[in-house]
Structure 1
């Protein structure tokens, strides 16, 4: 793998965050597109790289605060026999450069002229509620990566959970944390738009996908509004649980006002994979 090929491999990984030698769950390999290698070629280049080339690739990614991890079929379900799954993850021991901004998160959730602090609050609420659906209701810990295939939810479930959360917040009246009151200013279809924008953001980051076994002709609720966690998403959630949940400790203790907007934005950055 020469320097030009390494650049193409990195460009592919930055776009898709993962690559599989033989995709599981019936997914077709991603074909080559203009200016970008195919998934098959990316895996072949990594597989065939010498030790020195692999070290150079690791050093290149480390300079961007990233780490490439490889998993075999026996490591997690969903990886086909004889295949290998490559996942590009933020390295918790390294600082990511300013190149990786939070702008996509803010732009995705913005409906009017909300401040970044307000948008970070929306992201945190939706991220926590999504994890309630993916983990709490399955009695699943963040470390239960291997159960990612059973973790599904409907868009409507996340929307209903958000409405319940806001009603609970509204019922607190003046006792509601001041930093959270902006969440109560929703109008009309605002909640629906924010939920769909959040899910689309997660899907673009490779953390959610539509279940492969769902027939496309069973209606919108089945094909477009049911979401399953990806292996990449489960790996990243585990990493967040190990290294970044200090940002959310105040939430767990019921002290929402103690969470600084910068902390909320950092979680948004880390979770969106941007």
Structure 2
């Protein structure tokens, strides 16, 4: 793999975040497009690279805060026998590159003249609720990467969960967190539009795959929410696991401390 080919491989990975030698689940290989290699060629170049070339590729990606990880068919379900799955992930120990800035999020979720702080609240709420659908309702931990194929939800479900969350916030009145009160100013089709924009962001990032239309699709279309079913991708599960390990680890520590405090209080009371 020469420098030109390495650049083409990196360009492909930055666009799709993953590549498979033999895609599973009936997905077709991504064809070549103008100025970009096909998925088959990308995998062939990585597979055929020498140790020195692989090291150069790792160094090149590390300079952008990225890491390329390879998985075989026995590592996770959904990877076909004899295949190999390459996932491009942000390296938690390095500074994140412009690829992972928040600008696309702000642009996608913006409906009026909301501040970035307000848009960040919308994204956080939607991200947490999506993980409720992908993890909590399946009694699944962030470390349960291998169960990614069973993790599905519809746009209707996410929108309904968001409405329930906003009603809970509204019921708190003055006790609602000040940072979250901007969410209560939604109007008309705000929820539908934000849910749709959020899901499109996840699909474009390779974290979700659109599967099919649910039976609720026709009814959902009338209120603009779409009944399409979305499944978490292996890349999405790997990234969620990494976020849990490196960005949310302090929450686990807090939860553990609260559990210990509660147990101590119960022991004192008894």
What per-residue deviation string (whole Å, max 9, x for no partner) do you get for residues 36-83 of structure 1?
Answer: 000000000000000000000000000000000000000000000000
> Cα deviation per residue 1:112-142 (whole Å; 9 max; x = unaligned)?
0000000000000000000000000000000
Task: Kindly provide the CA deviation profile for residues 77-113 of structure 1, in whole angstroms up to 9, marking residues without a partner as x.
Answer: 0000000000000001111234642110100100000
5+ unaligned residues in a row in structure 2: which ranges?
221-225, 257-270
Q: Following superposition, which runs of at least 4 residues in structure 1 exceed 4 angstroms of deviation?
A: 214-221, 246-253
Matched, 1:234 2:237: yes
Number of residue pairs matched by the alignment: 251
TM norm structure 2: 0.88
Identify the residue that residue 26 of structure 2 maps to in structure 1. 26
Coordinate RMSD, CA, aligned: 2.4
TM-score (norm 1): 0.86
- Structure 2: distance between partners of 1:216 and 1:11: 35
Look up the SS of the partner of 1:81 in the other structure. Answer: coil
More relative contact order in 1 or in 2 (CA 8 Å, sep 6+)? 1
Query: Within 2, Cα distance between the matches of 1:163 and 1:242?
Result: 29
How many angstroms apart in 2 are the aligned matches of 1:99 and 1:231? 20
Distance 1:25 1:2 in 2: 32
Task: Give SS of 2:199's match.
Answer: helix
Match of 1:41 in 2: 41
- Counterpart check, 1:160 vs 2:157: no
CA contact (8 A) 1:108 1:197 kept: yes
> What stretches of structure 1 of length at least 5 have no aligned partner?
254-274
Deviations 1:156-214 (A, max 9, x none): 00000000000000001111111110000001000000000000000000000123xx4
- Paired position in structure 2 for 1:129: 129
Call closer, same or farther: CA 1:202–1:4 in 2, change over 3 Å.
Answer: same
Alpha-carbon distance in structure 1 between the residues aligned to 2:66 and 2:73: 23
